[in-house]
Structure 1
Amino acid sequence: MIRLLIVMLCWLLVASVHAEERLDYPARSDGGEATALVVHGALDPIHVRPLLEAFHRRHPGIALTYRNLGTLTLHRRFLEHPEEADVLLSSAMPWHYRLANDGHARPLDTATADAWPARARWRRELFAFTFEPVVMVVRRELVERYGRPESHADLLALLERHADALRGRVVTYDPARSGAGYTYAIAESRLSPRYWDLVAALGEADAALADTTGEMLSGLSEGRYWVGYNLLGSYARAVVEADPALAMVIPDDYALVTRRLALMPRGAPHPETARRFLDFLIGEAGQRVIAERTALGALHPALTGPGTANALRESHGEALRPLSLGPGLLATLDDLKRQALLARWRREFARGSEGLPPP
C-alpha cells in the first residue's frame, strides 16, 4: 500500500509539469461586493492548496481561481496574455526575474513588503517566498553496500570507485531538457572546481537523465535507481518520509537553495486582490502556512522551527547556497552562454562514459 501511494505521488509530480490543473474557490457572501483573483503558478496543488484555502478563509468574498502550469508554459502564456492573471508564482527564477527586469511587475507598496529581507526581493516587484534545498536521495541498498554520501565530494568518490557496480543506478537532471537542471548546472559550475569531474563521473556510471524530480523519485521508489542527484528537496521530502528504503541528503559541503518567486503583473485585472494575496504570501500568516502545512520552507525571518529557513540555517549553516536574486540570473538565459555550457556538459558526460582522460 505504501509503495502504491509513493508511485501515485511521483506520477502526480511528473504529470503536473505537462498538464494544466485548475482550483476554484467561489466567492461566499460576506455582505460586501464580490471580487475576483486569478493566480497562475508553477506550483503543484499539493503544495499550494493550503495557502489558497487559508487566504480564502480570510477573504471569502473573493472568487479565487488558481491554474497550475509548467514553468515555461506559464512564462509564454503571460507574454501572450499579460492581462489574464493577477499574480504569477514560479520556480523558474531566471525567467521570472526577466519579467520583472523587463518592466512587467507592479510594485507592492505595503509595510510587509518593506520589511521583507532585501536578499529575498528585487525592488518591491519580485519576492522570494520559499526556501528549498537541492538534495540527493539514496536508497538503502546503496547505504548498506557503500555508505551514505554526505557531500558532493563523497558522491564523486563513490562514483569513481564503484562506477561499474552503479552503472545505470544513478539519475540526475538533463540540463538540456530541464530548466531547473540547467539552472543548477550553471550555478554549480561557478561554485565548485570539481563540478566537471562530477559530471564525468556521472557519465562513467551511465547515469539516467530525467526531466523532473518526479521522474527521479519514481525510479528511486521502484528501486531502478540507488542514488538521485540534484532533486528538489520540497518534492522529495514527502516521498522519502513515506518510504523507509529512501533517505534524503542535504550535502554538507554546499547545497544549492532555490526560491520560488512571486510578482503582480502591471496589467493585472484585479490589482487590489492581487495586492492582498501577495501581502498574505510574504506576511507572517501566509508564511506560517508554508512552514506548517507544506514542504516548501518558509522564509519569514520571525519564524523558527521545522519547515523554516532559520531551522535549515541552524542545521546546515554556511553549506546552504541560495541562488542569488539579481542580474546574474539573466546570464542563464543568454543563448550563447547556454549553448557553451550545454556543449561542455555533454562533452564531459561523454568523456566519463568513454573513459577518456581529462582534456
Structure 2
Amino acid sequence: MSHTTPLSESSLSRRKALGFGLLGAASLTAVLTGCSTGSDTPAASAGAADFPSYYPADYSAIVDASKAEGGKLTIYSNTDQENWAPILRDFKAKYPWTQVSADNLDSDEVFQRQLSEMATGKAPADMLVSNAVQAWANYASDPSRLMAYDSPETKELPKNAVLMPNVWAMSLDPVGILYNTALLKDEPASIEALAKTVSADSATFKNKITTRDVKGAWGFTVSHAFTEGNSDAWTGLDEILPAARPETSSGTQKEKIMSGEYVAGFFISSAVGYPAQDASGGLVKFVLPTDGTVVLGRGIGITPKAPHPATAKLFLDFVLSETGQNAVAEGGLSSYRESVELTEGRHTYQEVEKVAGKDGIIQVPYEVVPDADVTSFVSKWDAQLGA
C-alpha cells in the first residue's frame, strides 16, 4: 500500500504505520449550503478558459454534468461547521447551483456509516472526509470502496498531499498543546516542558491536565505517533499522565480548558486549537510542541457509487486548488499549497515547518498498526493515567 512521502529524508525513519479504528459515536448533522459572495466568475457559463491551463480541455463537461445532477453533494465528515464555512462559501460562489450538506460525525463513524449503507445498496454519501488514519487505511485497503479519479490538481501539489490512492489531504493539521493563560503562567513550549511544570507541583495539577482517550482512533493515532517519533517521549509522559484525564474530543477539551476545569491539554487538534485561540481574546493559547509535532492529513475521497459524481469531482478539485486551499486556511485548518497567503488567523503546513522544524514534524502515513501493538500501547498508556 502506498503512502505519503515526508518532505525530508532525515525524518523518514521516524514515520511508522500508525492508526486505530474503534468506536462509533452519536452524530451531529449540520446542513451547510453556504452563501454566494458573487466574487468569482459565474460558473453557469464555465468553460475551459475559466480553469487553470493545466486542466483538461474538456473539463467543462464535468461542470455540465454537475448541473444535470442538480449540484447536490453529501459529505460524511468529522469536520466542524466553522472549518467548513469558508470552503462551502467559496465553492458555492464558483458553482452557484450547488448545494452541499456535510454531516459532522465521529471520526470512525464516517466509515462505519458508509460501509453499513453500502451493504444495503443505498449509500447516499458522495464524499468522505476524516483524519482517522486507521479507519481510512482499513476502508481504502479495498480499492473498490473509492472512485478512481485523476484530479488535475494532483501534479501541482506536494507529494505528501496524496495520502493513499484516490485519497488526498484536504489539510495537513498539526497536533499541539492548548492551555489557559490565566491559570498557567509559563507557556509549555513542549511536552517535556509541560511535564516539568506538572511534576514540580503534582498536587496542584492533579486531574487538571487533559489528553485524548487512546481507546479511540484519533487519540491512539496521535499519542502513538508521538512516542514513535520521539525516542524520549515516555520520559515526559510518565510525569504528565498521572495528572491527566482523557476526553473523547478536542471540542470537549477546549471547552473545559476555557472554563478552567483543566489548566492545559496536550495532543489537541489544531482544527480546534487555532480557532479557540483566535476567538478567546487571549484566554487560551495553542502551541506546537518543539519536541515533536504530530501532523495528520485530513483525508478526502469520492465514494465508488457517488450519487453526484460530477459535483464530487468539482468539489475535490476545488478543495485542492489554490482558491480552495485559501478557504481551508481561513476556516482554521492548515493548508499546504505554497501560494496560500499566510495572514493573521490563517495557518499553513509551511508555518508548522518553521515552528517545529522539518525534522521535528511527525507525519503520520495512512497505514494500519497491528492489533497487538495497539493493545500493548493502550494498556501502557491507561496504566499511567491518574484516577
Q: Which residue of 2 aligns with 1:5?
A: none
Counterpart code for 1:303: V
The answer for the alignment partner of 1:6 in structure 2 is: none
CA distance in 2 between partners of 1:123 and 1:164 (Å)? 46
Q: Which structure 1 residue ranges, 5 or more long, are not aligned?
A: 1-16, 354-359
Q: Is the 8 A contact 1:255 1:319 kept in 2?
A: no
User: How many angstroms apart in 2 are the aligned matches of 1:309 and 1:214?
Assistant: 22
- Per the TM alignment, residue 320 of structure 1 is displaced from its structure 2 partner at its CA by 4.4
Aligned to 1:151: 190
CA contact (8 A) 2:181 2:283 kept: yes
- Aligned partners of 2:241 and 2:292: how far apart in 1? 22
Please tell me whether the aligned partners of residues 175 and 182 of structure 1 are also in contact (alpha carbons under 8 angstroms): yes
Counterpart among 75, 96, 99 of residue 60 in structure 1: 96
Q: Which residue of 2 aligns with 1:128?
A: 169
Give unpaired runs (5+ residues) of structure 2.
Answer: 1-24, 37-42, 46-66
Q: How far does residue 230 in structure 1 lie from its aligned partner after superposition?
A: 1.2
> Which residue pairs with 1:271 in the alignment?
309
For this pair of structures, how many residues does the alignment match? 326
Higher percent of residues as helix: 1
Q: Choose from 77, 82, 87 the match for 1:41.
A: 77
Q: Residue 310 of structure 1 aligns with which residue?
A: 350
TM (norm. structure 1) is 0.83
Q: Provide the C-alpha distance between the structure 2 equivalents of 1:158 and 1:346, rounded to a whole number of angstroms.
A: 21
Counterpart AA for 1:346: D
Post-superposition shift, 1:26?
9.8
Aligned match of 1:69:
105
Structure 1 counterpart of 2:273: 236
Separation of aligned partners in 1, 2:151 and 2:241: 50
Other structure's SS at 2:327 match: helix
Change beyond 3 A, Cα 1:283–1:347: same
| Aligned match of 2:10 | none
- Report the AA paired with residue 130 of structure 1: S
Match of 2:124 in 1: 84
Q: RMSD of the TM alignment (CA)?
A: 2.5
Closer, same or farther: CA 128–322 of 1 in aligned 2, 3 Å: farther
For the 8 Å contact 1:142–1:148, the answer to whether it is kept is: no
Conservation of the 8 A alpha-carbon contact between 1:251 and 1:319:
no
Distance 1:174 1:35 in 2: 39
Quote how far apart the aligned CAs of 1:279 are.
0.7
After superposition, the Cα gap between the structure-2 partners of 1:25 and 1:121, relative to the gap in structure 1 and judged at 3 Å, is same
Correspondence 1:119 to 2:160? yes
Q: Which of these residues, 112, 132, 138, is aligned with residue 98 of structure 1? A: 138
| Equivalent runs, 1:312-351 vs 2, <5 Å | 312-318=352-358, 320-326=360-366, 329-331=367-369, 334-349=370-385
| 8 A contact 1:42–1:68 mirrored in 2 | yes
Distance 2:170 2:197 in 1: 35
Q: Please say which of residues 230-239 and 195-204 is displaced more in the overlay.
A: 195-204
| Distance across 2 between alignment mates of 1:193 and 1:325 | 19
**Letter of the aligned partner of 1:44 in structure 2?**
D
Contact 2:226-2:293 within 8 A present in 1 as well: no
- Structure 1 outlier segments of 4+, above 3 Å: 24-33
Amino acid at match of 2:354: E
Q: 2:236 aligned with 1:198, yes or no?
A: yes
- Normalised to the residue count of structure 2, the TM-score between the two structures is 0.77
